[in-house]
Structure 1
């Protein structure tokens, strides 16, 4: 699957790190990592649909994030994420970052975002993949902070590599009322940004419906549990909203017991546009190409894999020249696809 051209639209900044990188940064800053990021990697996560499971996931994520302590560290993460994506056939990456997490080490949220944007611009110019940035607010913090981030994102909005291309909402979707974040999303919409909140992973179909109704998104991160209500699934399809489906994440977090249970086929059969994503490879142990290999295990043909790749391009904010080249090369891949592995990495 490494040679199938595609876009990667669901990748978190800290969670994109190579496990070797987080270990290097921990050693550099004298930080002790949990065993789950050392000898027991990838972590065996408890079921995150309950509070204890989510706490374990969040604790590990926070431990990794604590290792990112300055400009050099941040630039390394962007650069390596782009390299890893390019190696897996990605032509366009939208990496999601909450700059408040790194602001204390670089002088504020504006410098934190500008470092990420500057490195995204540099790696896009030098490499094989273009990188846009999604600024994400957290549901764990007050909605007024989301408005501050939306205004910051709006100041850097654009459509070229190294620009802010979207605005998201992440973290535990059981926290906060989705409607309270609508003003922040209106700010982002007025700036021309793509609206890409999370919803419908830890909570069921109603979470997806509320996201549609209150935030008017272009894409929804995850959204897989829309299948639990046929009317909601139909509403997603009719809206034209794309779902960023992350099978490895769904299984690792216990949303589904096995990758065979991930309802990718039902979502596709409903006519929903899907962009596969890796979410947090550092914690889930699988990257973008693994998600496409899982789609094969779920019964997707070569033509359907190509359609998934096209969906990722269509749902992206990639520049027109990147889109056109990727779509042309997807057609080329489909005319002579390479043999697929029988079973992808878990």
Structure 2
């Protein structure tokens, strides 16, 4: 449908969501309720009702960001908390027009309170399956290693992720401060994941420059890159990403919130677009950054001048980069075409039901 301004409603644009972190997907109100339930004292930055002021481009700023994330994660202590988080994340995605969600989680972070590593992962996968049934949203999981931990831990996670591939795990990632360590230290873990049929989707090109994106490609053989925006600083790297059609999971709101760029207009969406680099817009950590999925498309419209045809192509790129079943992919692409073809002032025709996770 269109707003009164004559613009198509970006919440009704079908799309895939490929960059969302687990705890960071939580609703602020849910965090307040869980903190009260468990007697967790929240700092003002998490209890004030507004996204915290963050700037993570230096060590102190990144530590503060990580500290806030860890406090929020400490409020997830029981299977019912995990179920609530995933269900609400799915509801938010459906509200924003998402047809498919690939949520990223490091189960080692939840293992101490959920009975161990394997039980924690099974609880998460149970919650994903239930939320998918309840909301109709197709949901899959990327297991992410923490680059602040030993590479042997990453290998353990990769083997576990492969073992549970038939429960909806589709990819393997590498998160946390990319300025620490080397991507190549995790090459064996990624080899285990790739050989087990999982997509390689490490973070790179956010806090560090183009070299971190090159490392993702060369050392980890990335099929997608989390963030990747700093590739815009290297024309040769842009050409390489475009030639290989490696999708960058771009999160415009978090790039500004973390101080990677000073203002929304500085995020190099146009540079990547004009170079032919496919993008999948993502919300990253809406609990801390405030903006969910549709808001990322709104930023592309307002700050970068993307028209509706270009926004529809961004949505197509997210769908093509996902691991959707082919029938769901075709249906979603057709619904994007219908969204764009709808006459100004008229609502789009209702599409078929949302794709379900098996």
Task: Place the TM-score, normalised by the shorter chain, in its bin.
Answer: over 0.9
CA RMSD of aligned residues (A): 1.1
Contact 1:70 1:102 in 2 (8 A): no
Residues 20 and 232 from structure 1, CA distance in 2 versus in 1: closer, same or farther, beyond 3 angstroms? same
- 1:312 match: secondary structure: helix
TM-score of the superposition, structure 2-length normalised? Answer: 0.92
Alignment of 1:276 with 2:281, yes or no, is yes
Contact 1:92 1:322 in 2 (8 A): no
- 1:276 match: secondary structure: coil
Residue by residue over 1:251-296, the C-alpha shift from the partner in whole angstroms, topping out at 9 and shown as x without a partner, is 0000000001110011011011100000000000100000000010
- 1:272 match: secondary structure: coil
Alignment of 1:294 with 2:299, yes or no, is yes
Alignment of 1:110 with 2:118, yes or no, is yes
Aligned to 2:36: 27
Q: Which of these residues, 287, 290, 301, is aligned with residue 285 of structure 1? A: 290
- 1:277 match: secondary structure: coil
Q: 2:328, 2:92 → 1: CA distance?
A: 18
Contact 2:18 2:280 in 1 (8 A): yes
Residues 109 and 337 from structure 1, CA distance in 2 versus in 1: closer, same or farther, beyond 3 angstroms? farther
TM-score of the superposition, structure 1-length normalised? Answer: 0.95
Contact 1:205 1:228 in 2 (8 A): yes
Q: 2:83, 2:94 → 1: CA distance?
A: 17
Count of equivalent residues: 335
Alignment of 1:82 with 2:82, yes or no, is no
Alignment of 1:212 with 2:217, yes or no, is yes
Contact 1:7 1:316 in 2 (8 A): yes
Return 5+ residue gaps in structure 2 as ranges: 1-9, 346-358
Residues 232-271 of structure 1: matches in 2 within 5 Å?
Answer: 232-271=237-276
Aligned to 1:59: 67
Alignment of 1:16 with 2:22, yes or no, is no
Q: 2:142, 2:31 → 1: CA distance?
A: 22
Aligned to 1:331: 337
Residue by residue over 1:168-220, the C-alpha shift from the partner in whole angstroms, topping out at 9 and shown as x without a partner, is 00000011211010100011101111111000000001111111100111100
Following superposition, the deviation at residue 127 of structure 1 comes to: 1.6
Contact 1:310 1:330 in 2 (8 A): yes
Contact 2:183 2:219 in 1 (8 A): yes
Residues 14 and 231 from structure 1, CA distance in 2 versus in 1: closer, same or farther, beyond 3 angstroms? same
- Single out whichever of 328-337 and 164-173 deviates more from structure 2: 328-337
Aligned to 1:174: 179
Aligned to 1:73: 81
Following superposition, the deviation at residue 237 of structure 1 comes to: 1.2
Q: 2:301, 2:343 → 1: CA distance?
A: 13
Return 5+ residue gaps in structure 1 as ranges: 340-346
Q: 2:13, 2:52 → 1: CA distance?
A: 29
- 1:69 match: secondary structure: coil
Deviant stretches of 4+, over 2 Å:
none
Residues 338 and 97 from structure 1, CA distance in 2 versus in 1: closer, same or farther, beyond 3 angstroms? farther
Q: 2:124, 2:334 → 1: CA distance?
A: 30
Q: Which of these residues, 305, 314, 317, is aligned with residue 311 of structure 2? A: 305
Following superposition, the deviation at residue 337 of structure 1 comes to: 7.1
- 1:44 match: secondary structure: coil
Following superposition, the deviation at residue 126 of structure 1 comes to: 2.5
